[in-house]
Amino acid sequence: MATWSRREFQKALSWAVLSPLTQGNLEQGAGSKEVSAGRAAAAGSLTDVEGLKVGHFTDQRRPTGCTVVLAEKGAVAGVDVRGSAPGTRETDLLNPIHSVQQIYAVLLAGGSAFGLEASAGVMQYLEEKGVGFETEVAKVPIVPAAILFDLGVGNPKIRPDKASGYAACRNASAGSVKEGNVGAGAGATVGKLLGIGRAMKAGLGTASIQVGDLVIAALAAVNAAGDIYDSKTGKIVAGARTADGKKLANTIETMKSTPVDWAGKKSAAGIGGQTTIPNSRAGSGGTATVREWWGQILPTTIESTTLGIVATNAAFDKAAMTKIAQMAHDGYARAINPVHTPQDGDTIFALSTGIIPGGSGTSAASAHIGLVGALAAEVMAQAILRAAFMADGIPNFPAARDLR
């Protein structure tokens, strides 16, 4: 990649983000464009970044599953956790001050903390392939992982395990990535802040952007407490439904229109003879305390985490990838509201396969990082949107296409 001045960077950034995402140097699928079944047209995938493979294991009995991203030749990685209830593994190794410089896979899984067991299957697969961090006695595969809470969908005794992780690796390829009710997104739901009975099905989505030789891609398993927005139109596409289940309620507008007794001195008849939260959330009046509004729904909001991976073919060091992971969270904020709540475990990993120069260690480094980070946020928002559009409804949880 060429060395850019600040002015050249700003020009490229403005052109990349604002120009039509179709032809020329910037190539991207139609993204959030809807087709007859309420689906999004193809928008590329994480495997558009050379050096990566993606595989899923989906257990339809519940459903739940896991998704693995393999980087068998190694990838430089960073991570940024914004949620307050994360479930992760090996994320400390990604700190720029720590010695391990490359990872060989990232695992995303359902099953809450139980799902972290699936990473052992990924390690087994890579060990059999002779892939890992070189030590004097063995190669140790470095496999960061993160989980989401989907135990409230179906039988909570069914969750990803070591065999699931191994199977996901066996299924991995550099080809097109299946989206929707697959892998880590199999049991994912969204829009839970008005009660689990009003939630909707989401899933897993992926997208990519190409600017000349530079490729940036994202993959997201969307299990958010908040509503899912099309960042281009500002419209909600999936989330909390109205009491009759037929329309989208708009969680933020419901919060804004529901009186709250901040001091906790007032209540009305309803849940437990004390509150009218279901009616007041629907906008029909009544006063709820903060604890009643938010605290009573903790069992629901705990089931909330969006897991993401952004990747680029440009070479960067761990510090740069950490910054890119941070910037990619802006994609969460554009596509999910509310997001990064106290009960979310929102996490983004950022991977570099180092196929083209990235500018680390040069005077142009900040410009390169800024461009990739900005586009990572854009493509992450699109991957989240696709996770909603590509999902299929399951009993009690309709999908976006079911409300059209």
pLDDT at 2: 36
How do residues 118-148 score in pLDDT, each as one tens digit?
A: 999 999 999 999 999 999 999 999 999 999 9
Q: Specify the range with the lowest mean pLDDT, choosing from 167-181, 220-234, 348-362.
A: 348-362
pLDDT at 294: 53
What's the CA gap between 314 and 360, in Å, rounded?
Answer: 10
Report which of 127, 45, 110 is spatially closest to residue 310, judged by C-alpha positions: 45
What's the CA gap between 148 and 87, in Å, rounded?
Answer: 7
Residue predicted with more confidence, 114 or 282 = 114
What's the CA gap between 386 and 384, in Å, rounded?
Answer: 5
Q: What is the mean pLDDT of the chain?
A: 83
Mean pLDDT on 169-179:
97
Mean pLDDT on 362-373:
86
Mean pLDDT on 150-175:
96
- Enumerate the β-bridge partners of residue 217: 208, 311
User: Where do the domains of the chain lie, and which CATH numbers do they carry?
Assistant: 38-236+303-403 (3.60.70.12)
Contact 326, 370 (CB under 8 A): no
How do residues 234-280 score in pLDDT, each as one tens digit?
A: 999 999 999 899 999 999 998 888 766 666 544 333 332 233 344 33
Entry field: residues in the chain = 404
pLDDT at 223: 97
Mean pLDDT on 14-25:
35
Identify the DSSP state of 116.
G
Please determine, for residue 164, whether its predicted confidence score (pLDDT) is greater than 60.
yes
Please determine, for residue 289, whether its predicted confidence score (pLDDT) is greater than 70.
no
Q: Specify the range with the lowest mean pLDDT, choosing from 218-232, 287-301, 382-396.
A: 287-301
pLDDT at 341: 84
Written as one string, the DSSP assignment of 183-240 is: GGGTT-EE--TT-GGG-EE--EEEEEEEETTEEEEEEEEEE-SSEEEETTTTEEEESP
How do residues 38-77 score in pLDDT, each as one tens digit?
A: 345 558 999 999 999 999 999 999 999 999 999 999 999 9
Q: Specify the range with the lowest mean pLDDT, choosing from 8-17, 95-104, 273-282, 309-318.
A: 273-282
- Alpha-carbon dihedral of residues 99, 369, 105, 158, nearest 10 degrees? 120
Mean pLDDT on 376-401:
96
Mean pLDDT on 206-230:
96
Q: What is the 3-state secondary structure (H, E, C) of 14-26?
A: HHHHHCCCCCCCE
